């Protein structure tokens, strides 16, 4: 069977009411998938290419995993079988029958590793060339928005919003609108944290750690629309949590004691509801550069005896099951 030859349209050459086109672009804005008013998951993003034309995209997929695996602004995306529509006088892209998407890290020099949930997809030297060309072009565009690096727990500032790359150790439902995620990133938060009380039988993963190891763990409370996403997470997953808030004080919320405050007191980490500022949770793939950096940091020289390495699968099994030595 001959290899299919795909034709790609530059963004400035898109025509209104095109039934099906294929495009490449650099992501300059994105929101994590969220439940639509129907049964589908919806995500939105904006892309640009060498024509400097920016085009918005709205994607509806029945399954969460069918949405593009976008980790940050600057990622490269390839979309097959999208159609054009006019919205407020501008051309936008929406998915159509047979839609598929593949994404790549946008950093020049990084491995060209396709990220996709599809079991099979077409990718050849022409695709590799397109990715490299877009990387090179985007790297020279000072005006393109770029995400700041994720903030490690050791650098968290009270009252700040930040992105966190971490590993999930355990989780527990607190009530119908809140789920607790217990995470670590190999560094120690310099600020004391609010004490959380959870019934051991409610915890998926270890219910407790030793006192020394507990000091490496951050308690993240996720609310509202993010609770459904949290249900799919498994202990051992590597995560990027976007627009996380470091509040000071404690809370009258589930498992906590008193009221939150804007100044003074221990820290509590909140992922508020909604999708503003890209707020959400994304499971990162094993080959994601941020995960590789997390592994290198966690498996490198220890700053103290509590910073144990992250292990990927039981030794000698080759299973790829993710575990953490804190577990």
| CATH for the 153-307 domain, from 1.10.3720.10, 2.30.30.230, 2.40.50.140, 3.60.20.10 | 2.40.50.140
Contact 180, 204 (CB under 8 A): no
Within 8 A by CB and 6+ apart from 208, the residues are 200, 214
Planar angle of CA 161, 163, 165, nearest 5 degrees: 150
Residue 107: per-residue pLDDT: 87
Residue 167 — pLDDT band, cuts 50, 70, 90? very high
Predicted confidence (pLDDT) at residue 204 exceeds the cutoff of 80: yes
- Residue 230 reports pLDDT greater than 70: yes
Answer for the pair 271, 279: CB distance below 8 angstroms, yes or no: yes
Q: What is the pLDDT of residue 322?
A: 39
Do 11-139 and 153-307 show the same overall fold?
Answer: yes
- How does the average pLDDT of the chain come out, rounded? 83
| DSSP string for residues in 193-254 | B------GGG-BS-S---HHHHTT-EEEEEETTHHHHHHT--TT-EEEEEEEEEEEE--SST
What integer pLDDT is reported at residue 57 of this predicted model?
Answer: 96
- How far is the C-alpha of 327 from the C-alpha of 267, rounded, in Å? 23
Mean pLDDT value of segment 22-50: 91
Supply the pLDDT for residue 47: 97
How would residue 254 be classed by pLDDT, with cut points 50, 70 and 90? low
pTM confidence score: 0.78
pLDDT at 78 over 70: yes
Whole-number percent of the chain with pLDDT over 70: 84
pLDDT over threshold 70, residue 12: yes
Predicted local confidence at residue 287, as pLDDT: 74
Residue 315 scores a pLDDT above 80: no
Residue 176 has pLDDT above 80, yes or no: yes
Between CA 285 and CA 296 the distance in angstroms is: 15
Q: Does domain 11-139 have CATH number 2.40.50.140?
A: yes
Residue 122 has pLDDT above 50, yes or no: yes
Q: What is the pLDDT of residue 321?
A: 32
Q: Which residue has the higher pLDDT, 27 or 285?
A: 27
Confidence band for 20, pLDDT divided at 50, 70 and 90: very high
Better-predicted residue by pLDDT, 17 or 230:
230
In eight-state DSSP terms, residue 115 is B
* Mean predicted confidence (pLDDT) in 172-191: 92
Left, alpha or beta for 90 (phi > 0: left; psi -120 to 50: alpha)?
beta
**pLDDT tens by residue, 271-309:** 999 888 888 999 988 777 778 877 776 544 333 333 333
Instruction: Give pLDDT, residue 263.
Output: 55
Residue 136 backbone zone (phi > 0: left; psi -120 to 50: alpha; other: beta): alpha
Domain boundaries, the chain: 11-139, 153-307
């Amino acid at each position: 069977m001959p290899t299919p030859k795909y034709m790609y349209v530059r963004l400035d050459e898109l025509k209104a009411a095109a039934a099906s086109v294929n495009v490449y672009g650099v992501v300059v804005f994105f929101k994590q998938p969220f439940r639509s008013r129907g049964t589908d998951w919806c995500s939105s993003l904006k892309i640009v290419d060498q024509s400097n034309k920016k085009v918005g995209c709205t994607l509806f997929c029945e399954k969460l995993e069918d949405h593009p695996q976008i980790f940050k602004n600057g990622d490269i995306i390839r979309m097959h079988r999208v159609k054009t529509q006019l919205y407020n006088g501008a051309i936008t892209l929406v998915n159509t029958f047979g839609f598929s998407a593949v994404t790549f890290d946008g950093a020049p020099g990084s491995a060209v590793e396709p990220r996709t949930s599809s079991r099979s997809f077409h990718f050849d030297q022409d695709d590799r060339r397109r990715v490299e060309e877009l990387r090179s072009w985007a790297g020279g565009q000072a005006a393109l928005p770029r995400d700041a690096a994720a903030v490690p727990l050791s650098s968290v500032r009270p009252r700040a919003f930040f992105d966190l790359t971490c590993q999930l150790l355990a989780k527990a439902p607190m009530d119908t609108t809140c789920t607790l995620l217990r995470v670590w990133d190999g560094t120690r938060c310099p600020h004391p944290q609010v004490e959380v009380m959870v019934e051991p039988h409610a915890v998926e993963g270890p219910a407790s750690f030793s006192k020394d190891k507990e000091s490496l763990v951050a308690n993240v409370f996720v609310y509202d629309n993010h609770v459904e996403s949290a249900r799919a997470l498994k202990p051992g997953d590597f995560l990027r949590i976007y627009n996380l808030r470091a509040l000071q004080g404690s809370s009258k919320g589930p498992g906590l004691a008193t009221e939150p405050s804007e100044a003074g007191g221990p820290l509590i980490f909140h992922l508020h509801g909604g999708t503003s500022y890209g707020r959400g949770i994304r499971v990162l793939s094993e080959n994601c550069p941020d995960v590789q950096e997390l592994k290198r940091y966690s498996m490198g020289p220890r700053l103290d005896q509590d910073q144990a390495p992250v292990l990927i699968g039981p030794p000698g099994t080759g299973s790829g099951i993710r575990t953490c030595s804190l577990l």
